[in-house]
Amino acid sequence: MRELVTAAGAAKAIGPYSPALRTGNLLFLSGSIPLDPSSGQVVAGDITAQATRVMENIKALLAAAGADFSHVARTTVFMVDLGEFAAMNEVYASYFTAPYPARSTVQVVKLPKDVRVEIDVIAVLG
């Protein structure tokens, strides 16, 4: 059975997809971009501000499913400039403790709404 997961503290979907979907003990979070949950607009600022908003959106969705960052098993980080990796990674690392989730990070040409970063997550629920 699949169950939709949404959260007031996370941005709403901007297309025909679920922000998060629970299937059994797995939680799949769609790619999160730095949208302010109140306004639906991209947050102003550099990669640090954008990465922080993305992680806060993810945090809200995890909490809505009864989870937190310790439940995250896998992430994929999409960036338009890997030259900003260190700054993004500093924000990212502040949300996790060891053992860290498996992760891939890739540079892409463009992301929705011309944002700098997008992150998707797979979590295992207890």
**Where along the chain do its domains lie?**
2-124
Does the pLDDT value for residue 6 go beyond 90?
Answer: yes
Percentages helix, strand, coil for the chain (3-state, rounded to 5) are: 30, 30, 40
Q: What per-residue confidence (pLDDT) applies to 73?
A: 98
Q: What is the pLDDT of residues 44-99, one digit of tens each?
A: 999 999 999 999 999 999 999 999 999 999 999 999 999 999 999 999 999 999 99
Does the pLDDT value for residue 126 go beyond 90?
Answer: no
Contact 37, 14 (CB under 8 A): no
Instruction: Tell me the CATH number of domain 2-124, given options 3.40.50.720, 3.50.50.60, 1.10.150.20, 3.30.1330.40.
Output: 3.30.1330.40
Q: How confident is the model at residue 1 (pLDDT cuts 50, 70, 90)?
A: confident
Contact 119, 78 (CB under 8 A): yes
Q: How confident is the model at residue 30 (pLDDT cuts 50, 70, 90)?
A: very high
